[in-house]
Amino acid sequence: MISDIDCLKVGKPAPNFTATAVYDQEFIRVQLEDYLGKYVVLFFYPLDFTFVCPTEIIAFSDQYDRFQGMNTEILGVSVDSEYSHLAWIQTDRSAGGLGDLKYPLVSDIKKNISLAYNVLNDDGVALRGLFIIDKEGLIQYSTVNNLAFGRSVDETFRILQAIQYVQANPDEVCPADWQPGDKTMIPDPSKSKEYFTAI
């Protein structure tokens, strides 16, 4: 018998969910499938009112407009309640809070979303999982960090650019550290030599 977790793979559909989130200091309903037609950066973090987490959450908010320019929405998720999210947002950044954010924070208090994405640890909190979901609802990228170290928003954005490039140019692939404007590669034994002879 194949479990839902076994189906959580790059190239497969992202598990749908419906949950309460906080956005613009209001409670809203978020359903992942409502974002079809857009890319989604879905990231999990351990807990509200912690230490590494606000640095990531704020960094994604500060760069939100860049993601918007790439037809991409951002969703942050933790196992806290929507009330905890709201209190943290209403706490000033200088006091360890978040201040206003440009994207929703989703409550996963029942832990169903974290379980579906296989990021729930033995202590009942989410590891730092990050998933890039394309406009068809397919997972194109996933990474999971342990609790003590944060992720790179710039690297997430670079990966998003590479995903969108190869989806728009299916006969090409992006080599290591590719940036927009860099040379790509044709995935063919003969044609790929054009890339390697140029470096």
- Is 7 marked active-site? no
Evaluate whether 144 touches 47 at the Cβ level (below 8 Å).
no
**Which of the residues 53, 79, 116, 160 is marked catalytic?**
53
Sequence-distant (6+) residues with CB within 8 A of 163 are 39, 132, 134, 140, 141
In the DSSP assignment, the letter for residue 118 is: T
Three state DSSP letters for 11-30: CCECCCCEEEEEECCEEEEE
Q: How far is the CA of 176 from the CAs of 57, 116, 189, in angstroms?
A: 27, 30, 18
Query: Which residues does the annotation mark as catalytic?
Result: 53
